[in-house]
Chains A and B, each alone.
Chain A
Amino acid sequence: RKEVEQDPGPFNVPEGATVAFNCTYSNSASQSFFWYRQDCRKEPKLLMSVYSSGNEDGRFTAQLNRASQYISLLIRDSKLSDSATYLCVVNYGGYNKLIFGAGTRLAVHP
Protein backbone atom coordinates (compact mmCIF):
# COMPACT_ATOMS: atom_id res chain seq x y z
CA ARG A 1 0.00 0.00 0.00
CA LYS A 2 1.31 3.44 -0.90
CA GLU A 3 1.97 5.81 1.98
CA VAL A 4 -0.09 8.55 0.35
CA GLU A 5 -2.77 7.64 -2.18
CA GLN A 6 -4.73 9.80 -4.56
CA ASP A 7 -7.15 9.12 -7.38
CA PRO A 8 -5.12 10.04 -10.48
CA GLY A 9 -8.20 11.28 -12.36
CA PRO A 10 -8.51 13.06 -14.66
CA PHE A 11 -11.47 14.93 -13.30
CA ASN A 12 -13.08 16.69 -16.24
CA VAL A 13 -15.45 19.42 -15.05
CA PRO A 14 -17.14 22.45 -16.62
CA GLU A 15 -16.37 25.97 -15.53
CA GLY A 16 -18.28 26.90 -12.42
CA ALA A 17 -18.49 23.36 -11.09
CA THR A 18 -17.55 22.26 -7.61
CA VAL A 19 -15.03 19.45 -7.43
CA ALA A 20 -13.55 17.54 -4.51
CA PHE A 21 -10.42 15.44 -4.18
CA ASN A 22 -9.54 13.05 -1.41
CA CYS A 23 -6.21 11.74 -0.32
CA THR A 24 -5.53 8.92 2.15
CA TYR A 25 -2.36 8.40 4.16
CA SER A 26 -1.18 5.29 5.93
CA ASN A 27 0.89 6.57 8.85
CA SER A 28 -1.20 7.69 11.80
CA ALA A 29 1.80 9.59 13.17
CA SER A 30 1.57 12.11 10.33
CA GLN A 31 1.64 15.65 11.58
CA SER A 32 1.67 18.12 8.72
CA PHE A 33 -0.48 18.10 5.61
CA PHE A 34 -0.42 20.17 2.46
CA TRP A 35 -1.94 20.53 -0.95
CA TYR A 36 0.41 21.55 -3.75
CA ARG A 37 -0.49 22.48 -7.28
CA GLN A 38 1.64 21.47 -10.26
CA ASP A 39 1.17 22.71 -13.78
CA CYS A 40 2.40 20.55 -16.63
CA ARG A 41 6.19 20.14 -16.50
CA LYS A 42 6.50 22.94 -13.95
CA GLU A 43 7.58 22.93 -10.33
CA PRO A 44 5.04 22.20 -7.57
CA LYS A 45 3.78 25.20 -5.63
CA LEU A 46 2.05 25.28 -2.29
CA LEU A 47 -1.70 25.75 -2.61
CA MET A 48 -2.53 25.53 1.07
CA SER A 49 -1.60 23.89 4.31
CA VAL A 50 -4.25 21.72 5.95
CA TYR A 51 -5.08 22.33 9.58
CA SER A 52 -6.94 20.09 11.99
CA SER A 53 -9.88 22.46 12.16
CA GLY A 54 -10.09 22.76 8.40
CA ASN A 55 -9.27 25.90 6.51
CA GLU A 56 -10.49 27.95 3.60
CA ASP A 57 -8.75 30.22 1.13
CA GLY A 58 -11.13 31.86 -1.29
CA ARG A 59 -12.67 29.15 -3.46
CA PHE A 60 -10.52 26.42 -1.88
CA THR A 61 -11.37 24.49 1.27
CA ALA A 62 -9.16 21.85 2.88
CA GLN A 63 -10.28 19.36 5.51
CA LEU A 64 -8.41 16.84 7.64
CA ASN A 65 -9.97 13.69 9.07
CA ARG A 66 -7.43 12.08 11.38
CA ALA A 67 -9.71 9.24 12.44
CA SER A 68 -10.09 8.04 8.86
CA GLN A 69 -6.65 9.26 7.82
CA TYR A 70 -7.62 11.34 4.86
CA ILE A 71 -7.48 14.92 3.72
CA SER A 72 -9.69 16.59 1.17
CA LEU A 73 -9.61 19.58 -1.14
CA LEU A 74 -12.78 21.25 -2.36
CA ILE A 75 -12.70 23.72 -5.23
CA ARG A 76 -15.80 25.83 -5.78
CA ASP A 77 -16.70 27.78 -8.92
CA SER A 78 -13.94 26.11 -10.97
CA LYS A 79 -11.99 28.30 -13.39
CA LEU A 80 -10.14 27.29 -16.51
CA SER A 81 -6.97 28.34 -14.71
CA ASP A 82 -7.57 25.69 -12.05
CA SER A 83 -6.61 23.00 -14.57
CA ALA A 84 -3.52 21.36 -13.08
CA THR A 85 -2.38 18.38 -11.04
CA TYR A 86 -3.04 18.59 -7.30
CA LEU A 87 -0.54 16.87 -5.04
CA CYS A 88 -1.34 15.69 -1.55
CA VAL A 89 1.67 15.92 0.78
CA VAL A 90 2.17 14.48 4.24
CA ASN A 91 4.97 14.94 6.76
CA TYR A 92 5.61 12.26 9.35
CA GLY A 93 6.49 13.93 12.60
CA GLY A 94 9.57 11.96 13.46
CA TYR A 95 11.00 11.96 9.97
CA ASN A 96 12.65 14.75 8.10
CA LYS A 97 10.85 14.26 4.85
CA LEU A 98 7.66 14.86 3.02
CA ILE A 99 5.72 12.11 1.29
CA PHE A 100 4.02 13.13 -1.94
CA GLY A 101 1.02 11.52 -3.52
CA ALA A 102 1.19 10.87 -7.25
CA GLY A 103 -1.34 13.63 -7.86
CA THR A 104 -4.88 14.12 -9.12
CA ARG A 105 -5.31 15.75 -12.50
CA LEU A 106 -8.06 18.32 -12.94
CA ALA A 107 -9.21 19.58 -16.34
CA VAL A 108 -11.72 22.44 -16.36
CA HIS A 109 -13.43 23.02 -19.69
CA PRO A 110 -15.58 25.91 -20.99
Chain B
Amino acid sequence: EAQVTQNPRYLITVTGKKLTVTCSQNMNHEYMSWYRQDPGLGLRQIYYSMNVEVTDKGDVPEGYKVSRKEKRNFPLILESPSPNQTSLYFCASSRDRRYEQYFGPGTRLTVT
Protein backbone atom coordinates (compact mmCIF):
# COMPACT_ATOMS: atom_id res chain seq x y z
CA GLU B 1 0.00 0.00 0.00
CA ALA B 2 1.33 3.42 -1.02
CA GLN B 3 1.72 5.52 2.08
CA VAL B 4 3.59 8.09 4.11
CA THR B 5 4.30 7.10 7.69
CA GLN B 6 5.27 9.31 10.61
CA ASN B 7 6.47 8.46 14.09
CA PRO B 8 5.64 9.14 16.79
CA ARG B 9 1.99 10.09 16.32
CA TYR B 10 1.82 11.83 19.68
CA LEU B 11 4.64 13.30 21.72
CA ILE B 12 4.77 15.33 24.91
CA THR B 13 8.19 16.66 25.80
CA VAL B 14 9.90 19.38 27.78
CA THR B 15 11.65 22.52 26.64
CA GLY B 16 15.17 21.91 25.38
CA LYS B 17 15.05 18.13 24.99
CA LYS B 18 16.11 17.23 21.46
CA LEU B 19 13.67 15.16 19.47
CA THR B 20 13.29 13.68 16.01
CA VAL B 21 10.10 12.96 14.12
CA THR B 22 10.59 10.39 11.41
CA CYS B 23 8.92 10.37 8.02
CA SER B 24 9.08 7.63 5.43
CA GLN B 25 7.38 7.10 2.06
CA ASN B 26 7.26 4.01 -0.13
CA MET B 27 6.25 5.65 -3.42
CA ASN B 28 9.74 6.53 -4.65
CA HIS B 29 8.78 10.20 -4.57
CA GLU B 30 11.50 12.77 -5.07
CA TYR B 31 9.79 15.69 -3.36
CA MET B 32 9.18 15.63 0.39
CA SER B 33 8.06 18.35 2.74
CA TRP B 34 7.28 19.13 6.36
CA TYR B 35 4.38 21.32 7.49
CA ARG B 36 3.01 22.53 10.75
CA GLN B 37 -0.64 23.29 11.24
CA ASP B 38 -1.92 25.76 13.82
CA PRO B 39 -5.50 26.98 14.36
CA GLY B 40 -6.39 29.86 12.06
CA LEU B 41 -3.04 29.75 10.27
CA GLY B 42 -3.43 26.73 8.07
CA LEU B 43 -0.57 24.57 6.94
CA ARG B 44 2.80 26.31 6.81
CA GLN B 45 5.83 24.75 5.20
CA ILE B 46 8.87 24.23 7.41
CA TYR B 47 11.37 22.58 5.06
CA TYR B 48 11.24 20.74 1.78
CA SER B 49 13.51 18.48 -0.22
CA MET B 50 13.66 18.14 -3.98
CA ASN B 51 15.78 14.98 -3.83
CA VAL B 52 18.46 13.19 -1.85
CA GLU B 53 20.86 15.65 -0.22
CA VAL B 54 18.83 18.61 -1.55
CA THR B 55 16.87 20.49 1.11
CA ASP B 56 15.68 24.06 1.47
CA LYS B 57 13.82 26.28 3.89
CA GLY B 58 10.11 26.83 3.72
CA ASP B 59 8.22 29.64 5.39
CA VAL B 60 8.86 28.80 9.04
CA PRO B 61 12.24 26.99 9.32
CA GLU B 62 13.48 28.57 12.57
CA GLY B 63 14.12 25.99 15.27
CA TYR B 64 14.00 23.00 12.91
CA LYS B 65 16.49 20.91 10.95
CA VAL B 66 16.03 18.22 8.34
CA SER B 67 18.13 15.76 6.42
CA ARG B 68 17.59 13.68 3.30
CA LYS B 69 20.20 10.95 3.17
CA GLU B 70 17.90 8.44 1.52
CA LYS B 71 15.07 9.01 -0.90
CA ARG B 72 12.42 7.43 1.31
CA ASN B 73 13.22 9.17 4.61
CA PHE B 74 12.96 12.80 5.64
CA PRO B 75 13.29 13.24 9.42
CA LEU B 76 12.43 16.49 11.20
CA ILE B 77 14.76 17.44 14.05
CA LEU B 78 14.05 19.86 16.85
CA GLU B 79 17.39 20.50 18.54
CA SER B 80 15.97 22.51 21.44
CA PRO B 81 12.17 22.47 21.38
CA SER B 82 10.26 25.40 22.80
CA PRO B 83 6.56 25.77 23.71
CA ASN B 84 5.86 27.77 20.54
CA GLN B 85 6.66 24.61 18.57
CA THR B 86 3.62 22.90 20.05
CA SER B 87 1.67 22.05 16.92
CA LEU B 88 0.35 19.39 14.57
CA TYR B 89 3.05 18.32 12.11
CA PHE B 90 2.55 16.69 8.73
CA CYS B 91 5.06 15.14 6.40
CA ALA B 92 4.14 14.94 2.72
CA SER B 93 5.61 13.55 -0.48
CA SER B 94 4.95 13.86 -4.18
CA ARG B 95 6.66 12.95 -7.43
CA ASP B 96 7.10 16.67 -8.11
CA ARG B 97 6.07 19.88 -6.35
CA ARG B 98 3.44 20.51 -9.04
CA TYR B 99 1.53 17.33 -8.34
CA GLU B 100 -0.64 15.86 -5.65
CA GLN B 101 1.00 15.65 -2.25
CA TYR B 102 0.40 12.61 -0.09
CA PHE B 103 0.36 13.35 3.60
CA GLY B 104 1.34 11.28 6.57
CA PRO B 105 -1.14 10.86 9.44
CA GLY B 106 0.36 13.70 11.47
CA THR B 107 2.34 14.06 14.70
CA ARG B 108 0.81 16.00 17.54
CA LEU B 109 3.64 17.57 19.52
CA THR B 110 3.29 19.30 22.87
CA VAL B 111 6.28 21.10 24.38
CA THR B 112 5.91 22.10 28.03
Contact = CB atoms under 8 A, between A and B. Distances in A.
Nearest to B49: A96
Contact of B56 (A4, A8, A96, A103): A96
Interface in A26-60: 31-32, 34, 41-46, 49
A98 B42 contact: no
A98 B34 CA distance: 11
Interface stretch (B14-22, B69-77, B79-87, B99-107): B99-107
Interface string A90-109: 01000011101111000000
Interface in B42-56: 42-45, 48, 50, 56
Contact of A32 (B59, B98, B105): B98
Contacts of B41: 102
A108 B68 CA distance: 42
A43 B92 CA distance: 9
Given A43-B90, A43-B103, A43-B104, A96 B42 contact: no
A108 B46 CA distance: 33
B100 A101 contact: no
A49 B99 CA distance: 9
B90 A49 contact: no
Interface string A58-94: 0000000000000000000000000000010001000
A2 to B, nearest CB: 9
28 contacts: A8-B40, A31-B98, A41-B88, A41-B106, A41-B108, A42-B105, A43-B103, A43-B105, A43-B106, A44-B43, A44-B103, A45-B103, A49-B100, A87-B43, A91-B98, A96-B50, A96-B97, A97-B33, A97-B48, A97-B58, A97-B97, A98-B33, A98-B45, A98-B97, A100-B42, A100-B43, A101-B42, A102-B40
